[in-house]
Amino acid sequence: MKGKMKAIVKNEAGAGAVLKEVKIPEVGPHDVLVEAEAVSICGTDLHIYNWDNWSANRIKPPLIIGHEIAGKIVEVGGEVEGWKVGDYVSVECHKICGQCYQCRTGQAHLCRNYSILGVDFDGVFADYVRVPATNLWRNKESLPSEVASLQDPIGNAVLTTLSHDISTKTVIVMGCGAIGMFCVGIAAAVGAEKIYAVDVNDYRLGIAEKMGAAVVINALRTDVVDAIMEDTGGEGVDILLEMSGNAVALKNGLKLVKNGGSVSLLSVYPEEVCIDLSNDVVFKGLTIKGITGRRMWDTWYKTAALLNSGSLDVSPIITHKLPMERFEEGFQAMNAGECGKVILYP
C-alpha cells in the first residue's frame, strides 16, 4: 500500500513525542500490514515518552512508538501463509530469533536475541503497522478491539498469576498499575480465596477493588505487614505477586508469604535490592519466579480464553478512550497515575 499515514513518533532524543505524517511502511515477504483499530499505551511507552535513562540508552529516534494493538490485516507479504486480508489480529511484541537454545526448547519468550515492536523497530501508534507474520495472534470477531489490544499486557499478568496453583489460595498483589489490576482480576477469575491489593494510589486501589480485591491497602497510610498479618490471623498468604518495583514493598511482601509459599516478580527495580535471603526465602522454603513477556503461545491461549469466556472483565481498567490526536492527554493521565489503561483510536 502506498501513501501517507499519521503516527506518533519519538522524533529526537528527549522528552515528548509528535503526531506526524509518515510513509505507510512497505511490506516485506514475511510481513503483513495491519490497519490499527485500537492501540493502548503501556508503561514502556511512558518511559520512552518521558525519556528516562533506559530509553536514552535503548531508543534510536526517529521511532514510531507503541506495541499493544488490535486491527485488521490489509496487505499480506508474498511468502506469508495462513493469513489473509481482513483477518482480525493482535500482535505479540517480542520478535524472536527462532534459532537460539531458548527458542528451540519451547521458551521463546526468553529468546536471547529478541527485539521489541515500538522499542527496537517501528511500532503500532499509527494508522498502519508492519508486523512479521510470525507475531500475529488471531482474535475472535466478538472481542471488542479495545480489549483485544490489551492482550499483550494482560498476558504478562496471566503468566505472573497462573505461574502458581492460585485457586483457593490467598494472594497479595503488590503494586496496582495496569498489570497489577489485571492480576487481581485473573486471580479472582480462577478462584483465589482472598486477594489483598497494595498500592500508594487510592484511584488505582479503587479499580483493584472493582476487579475483585477483598482488601485494599494504601501503604502510605497503613503498615502493610501488620494489617495483613492481623487479617490472616498471623498466618500470612500463600502467594505474592510483586509488581511495584519498590524494594520496601518486595521486602514486606516476602515477610508476608507463608512458609512454603510462592512468589512471582514482574517488577523492574531501579537499583539492586538487598533482601534477607536466609530468613525470608531459604528458611521459608519459598519458590520465586521471575516473569518476562508471555509464553508463545500458551499465555495467549489462556488470555484469550479468560476474555472470550467472559470470566475476566477488564472494563473497569479501561479508564480512557481517546482519538490518537489526543495522545498527550493519555500520557499526562499516566504520568499523574490517574488512570487504568488508556486506549487510543487511530
**Cα–Cα distance measured from residue 219 to residue 188, given in angstroms and rounded to the nearest whole number:** 22
**Cα–Cα distance measured from residue 245 to residue 274, given in angstroms and rounded to the nearest whole number:** 13
Based on CB atoms, which residue is closest to Zn ion, 44 or 246?
A: 44
Pick the binder of Zn ion from 9, 111, 154, 241 (CB under 5 A): 111
Pick the binder of Zn ion from 64, 65, 103, 126 (CB under 5 A): 103
Pick the binder of Zn ion from 97, 200, 214, 288 (CB under 5 A): 97
The residue whose Cβ lies closest to Zn ion is 42
Based on CB atoms, which residue is closest to Zn ion, 97 or 333?
A: 97
**Cα–Cα distance measured from residue 34 to residue 94, given in angstroms and rounded to the nearest whole number:** 17
| Distance of closest approach, residue 43 Cβ to Zn ion, in angstroms | 7
Q: Which stretch binds Zn ion (CB under 5 A): 69-77, 94-102, 171-179, 199-207?
A: 94-102
Kindly name the residue from 47, 134, 232, 287 that is annotated as catalytic: 47
Phi, psi for 110 (deg, rounded to 5): -110, 20
Residue 91 contacts Zn ion per CB under 5 A: no
- Examine the residue annotation and report whether 109 is marked as an active-site residue of this protein: no
Greatest CA separation for the chain: 66
- Examine the residue annotation and report whether 170 is marked as an active-site residue of this protein: no
Residue 100 contacts Zn ion per CB under 5 A: yes
| Distance of closest approach, residue 41 Cβ to Zn ion, in angstroms | 8
Residue 42 contacts Zn ion per CB under 5 A: yes
Cα–Cα distances (Å) from 18 to 210, 236, 272, 346, in that order, read 35, 48, 34, 14
Q: How many residues does the chain have?
A: 346
Residue 46 contacts Zn ion per CB under 5 A: no
Q: CB–CB of 185/160 below 8 Å? A: no
Based on CB atoms, which residue is closest to Zn ion, 31 or 152?
A: 152
Q: Which stretch binds Zn ion (CB under 5 A): 97-105, 188-196, 258-266, 289-297?
A: 97-105
Contacts of 12 (CB under 8 A, 6+ apart): 61, 62
Select from 339, 258, 335 the least CA-distant residue to 45.
335
β-strands 4-10, 18-23: how paired?
A: antiparallel
Binding mask 147-186 for Zn ion (x = CB under 5 A): ------x---------------------------------
Select from 24, 20, 28 the least CA-distant residue to 128.
24
Residues that bind Zn ion (CB under 5 A): 42, 96-97, 100, 103, 111, 153
Q: Which residues are catalytic?
A: 44, 47
